[in-house]
Amino acid sequence: MAEQCKNSKGWYSVNCQVVAGPDLRILRAIVRWGGSVPDWQIYENSRLKEVMEQGEYGHLVGDSAYQCQRYLLTPVVNPTTHAEKCYNRAHSATRRKVKRVIGIVKRRFPCTSQELRSNPKTSCAIILSCFALHNFALERQGPPDDSEAWYAPDDGPQERYTGDYDPEGESYRQHIIYEWFSHDPSGINYQQDEANCGNQTWH
C-alpha cells in the first residue's frame, strides 16, 4: 500500500473525503484511500455516489477536483459574468463549512494534525474515531464558541478534474446560476443549506 499512500508532494498520507452539513456535523466520511488517489476517484467508487444518484439527498457542493453533476455542484473555473462570480462566492462560502469542520477536528484531536505513527489501517481507524467523537461532542456541547476561526486551509495538492464533462451537470449548474444569481446585485446574501464535500490529507 506504500505507493498508493505516496502523494504528489512525495510524502505518505491518507486522503479523507468528508461530507459535512450546515450544523457542522459530519454526515459521511470515506477514510480508506491513499494520498495518491484523486478526489474524484474516491467519489466515483463510493456508496455516496450511489445514494446521490438515487435522489436521497439534495445537492453536494464540491471543489473543482470533482465532475460537475446535477447533484454535485462545482465552481465555475473561469467565471466571466457577474452571475457566475456571485455563484462562485456563494459556493465558496458554503464550502467553508467543511473546512471549519476539519479545523475543529484538528484542534480537538491534535493527532490528526500531526504524523500518525501507525500503519495505514490503524491510521484510518484513528481518523474515523475522531470524526465520530466530533459528532458526539457537537450533540452534547454544540459547536465551539470560536468555531468561525477554526478554519483549515487546504494543505494537500490542489486538484482539478480532467475527465469528461457531464452535459446534464453543466446545464443544471447554468440553470442554478440563472435562477438564483443573475437577478441579485449583491450575490452574497444567500441561505445555504447544502451539504459540503471536501477532502483532507493526513500523513
Whole-number pLDDT of residue 181: 93
Domain ranges for the chain: 2-151+161-191
Residues 57, 53: Cα–Cα separation, whole Å: 9
C-alpha Rg value of the chain to the nearest Å: 17
The yes-or-no verdict on residue 185 having pLDDT over 60 is no
180 falls in which pLDDT band (50, 70, 90)? Answer: very high
The yes-or-no verdict on residue 101 having pLDDT over 80 is yes
Summary mean pLDDT of the chain: 84
Residues 107, 113: Cα–Cα separation, whole Å: 8
C-alpha cell at position 132: 465520530
Angle between helices 167-181 and 82-108 (to 10 degrees): 100
Rounded mean pLDDT of 156-166?
76
| DSSP symbols for 147-190 | GGG------S------S---HHHHHHHHHHHHHHHSS-SS----
Higher-pLDDT residue of 112 and 1 is 112
pLDDT digits (tens, 9 = 90+) for 21-68: 989 999 999 999 988 898 899 999 999 998 888 876 788 999 999 999
